[in-house]
Copies of this chain bind each other. A is one copy, B any other.
């Protein structure tokens, strides 16, 4: 067994990986409903002013502001109501001096009017209103283009589309939207020690139930990708090479677990020309990347750290997504020592401004992943944090 001659610092490995990957250029035109969670392929300029006309921002009476200038509570101005309209209808009436038109929020301001008196400020008697206070020109009016101007960029390329983004597109008249094709990600699991179904005797002999396939499948789906599973491959050089070649031909990215270290059975890393192999991250040190292939650890907790430190950013780049994980500032509830020279991925449970480190060690420990909802990263030049320190938690 050999060891890594030199560990590539995390940041350097990250940059090498990111620089090697190109954005997918394929575009799909999908209905707005099918676009939820997809990545916008182009800037969207509004084809219209929104609102398309001056409209009332309140329920009340459209008036000529000048008519109301003398109004006082002890000396109201009386105006004649010429028409009543609701949102979605248009009044043919013109507001002449001494008159008003009743309207609801959102209704188009009738010709002649330049302000709206709120309903509460106008006592109604038959077809007359008594206005108690003056309104200024423009008061209670939403002007054409006030929300969005025609030609204005309302959504930028790379936006991960949320319900409100789709609603904006619909309100501007769009029925479909152009999004990037999802990155296809081939997943290959290697390891003679793995079994895929429960078998007590095999487990007692030292076999391990394989779980990286479903871990990576879920993570890829969570981060913009479309996973494709290529099965569990035994530790035979030719089989592994063949599986990687096939997966690479059919996908934008390939994730191989197992065989990234330097044991006799660690073969996967020999099947790919790697840009780096072995980094300062802990857990997950033996990760390698090259030719659109990540060679990852076999231990789920190491795979999980490798995914969050490398693969999710690879997927964001391939997908062309404007992606930044949610980070929160938190008070650390316990000390976290760290080894100098290691970029440590420390799982925490974040809640109500506090981050509690998850203590379980061992890179095979999945229960610690389950008990966490984020991590703190401790760079190579730090020996860790003390209880009570303010730390940045990256949520997952």
Smallest beta-carbon distance A364→chain B, Å: 6
- Residue from the set A104, A194, A200 with the largest chain B CB neighbour count within 10 Å: A104
- A155 (CB) vs chain B CBs: closest residue: B370
Contacts of A163 in B (CB 8 A): 214-219, 221-222
> A52-B203, A170-B214 in contact; A154/B222 too (CB < 8 A)?
no
- A297 (CB) vs chain B CBs: closest residue: B105
A273 within 8 A of B: no
Q: How far, in angstroms, from A329 to B105 measured CA to CA in the complex?
A: 35
How many copies of the polypeptide does the oligomer hold?
A: 2
Q: How far, in angstroms, from A165 to B87 measured CA to CA in the complex?
A: 50
Which size bracket describes the interface of A in this complex?
35 or more
**B48 to A203, Cβ gap below 8 A?**
yes
**B204 to A147, Cβ gap below 8 A?**
no
> A147-B367, A364-B51 in contact; A168/B211 too (CB < 8 A)?
yes
Smallest beta-carbon distance A208→chain B, Å: 6
> A1-B119, A105-B299, A360-B147 in contact; A173/B367 too (CB < 8 A)?
no
Contacts of A192 in B (CB 8 A): 86, 88-89
Which chain A residues (165-218) contact chain B, with CB distance < 8 Å? 165-173, 175, 191-194, 197-198, 200, 203-218
- A154 (CB) vs chain B CBs: closest residue: B367
**8 A-B interface contacts by CB (under 8 A):** A33-B214, A106-B298, A154-B370, A163-B214, A164-B300, A167-B218, A167-B369, A168-B370
The chain A residues found within 8 Å of chain B, CB to CB, are: 1, 32-33, 36, 47-48, 50-53, 55, 57, 59, 85-90, 104-108, 119, 142, 146-148, 154-155, 162-173, 175, 191-194, 197-198, 200, 203-219, 221-222, 263-265, 298-300, 304, 324, 326-329, 351-353, 360-367, 369-370, 372, 395
